[in-house]
Amino acid sequence: MMLLTIRAHGDTLSGTWVGPKKVGEDSAGEFTGIFLPIITRPLTGQAKGDAVEIVLGPKSDEDRVTMKLRDKSHLQVAFFRGAVPDWTFERVTGRQPVQVSSDWPAHSNDPKIAAIQEQLEAMAREDQAAREKTSIDPQETTALAEQDRPFLESIFKQYGWPKISVFDVTPCNDFWLLVQHQPPDVEEEMLPALQKAVSDGEASRTNYAYLFDRVQTDEGKPQHWGTQAKCENGQAILYPVDDMKGIDERRKAIGLAPLTAYIQSLAALCKRVPN
């Protein structure tokens, strides 16, 4: 998948990184999108004990990555802050031939798909802008949801739940985000298709958890992953959960933070929601 070539000069590192221009990864750690071509980026860095700080690319377009030397043969990197499993690079000897493949299928170049991707991105950006204001206006967010509904339903009618292999990770997340803000009848209609897409490896398990919990709470039933809460007097109040004892284990299994940390993260949002 990727090849790191690292040379140590004391604590100073240099070398190259070779891999796809961009990759997509789901919450289970499975690669869902490969964007060609294979590119080579220069690498510099510093090693301090078992910590490795690496800078990839030229200064005008650099990425900084923190890695950990798990043992003498494995270097571990957490790109997504615990949201998905860490990546592990395995040491090989100079005599072992290693080549990064370039024959992965690229995402569709269908202009219809490209147009849908662009529209979803614009709609998601507008949706989030309305929800990131100092004071959230429920009338504005409701009007946006009504405006978005015909387009979302037209996508669903033609493609079902959008597949990662067709639309890519980010547009699929945009679609899910916008569906999350639709009325209960839309959410309920689309939930089985999202569940099927997850079982086929074509959608995020985390996204399914959020939509499942939302449908449950809309129907007055207990949620399962503890993703849904309401704001009361500036505080986040969790809707009922079917099994509180096992909730953090379930959340961890799909890449979600512990429940306490999640509720705390909602506090700032609730302060922006009118009573």
Mean of the per-residue pLDDT values of the chain: 83
Confidence of residue 95 (pLDDT cuts 50, 70, 90): low
Mean pLDDT across 127-144: 90
pTM value > 0.75:
no
Q: Residue 142 has what pLDDT?
A: 94
* Bigger pLDDT: 193 vs 73: 193
- Tell me the domain boundaries of the chain: 3-90, 111-270
**Ranges 6-15, 187-196, 201-210: which has the least confidence:** 6-15
| Structural contact between residues 212 and 193, judged by C-beta atoms closer than 8 angstroms | no
Residue 89 pLDDT > 90, yes or no? no
Q: Residue 83 has what pLDDT?
A: 47
Q: Residue 84 has what pLDDT?
A: 52
* Bigger pLDDT: 27 vs 172: 172
Residue 177 pLDDT > 60, yes or no? yes
Confidence of residue 48 (pLDDT cuts 50, 70, 90): confident
Q: Residue 136 has what pLDDT?
A: 84
Residues sharing a CB contact under 8 Å with residue 13, sequence separation 6 or more, in sequence order: 6, 7, 43, 44, 45, 46, 47, 52, 54
Confidence of residue 100 (pLDDT cuts 50, 70, 90): low
Q: Residue 82 has what pLDDT?
A: 47
Q: Residue 189 has what pLDDT?
A: 97
Mean pLDDT across 108-128: 88
Cβ burial 107-134 (10 Å sphere, 16+ → b, else e): beeeeebeebbeebeebbeebeebbeee
Q: Residue 2 has what pLDDT?
A: 79
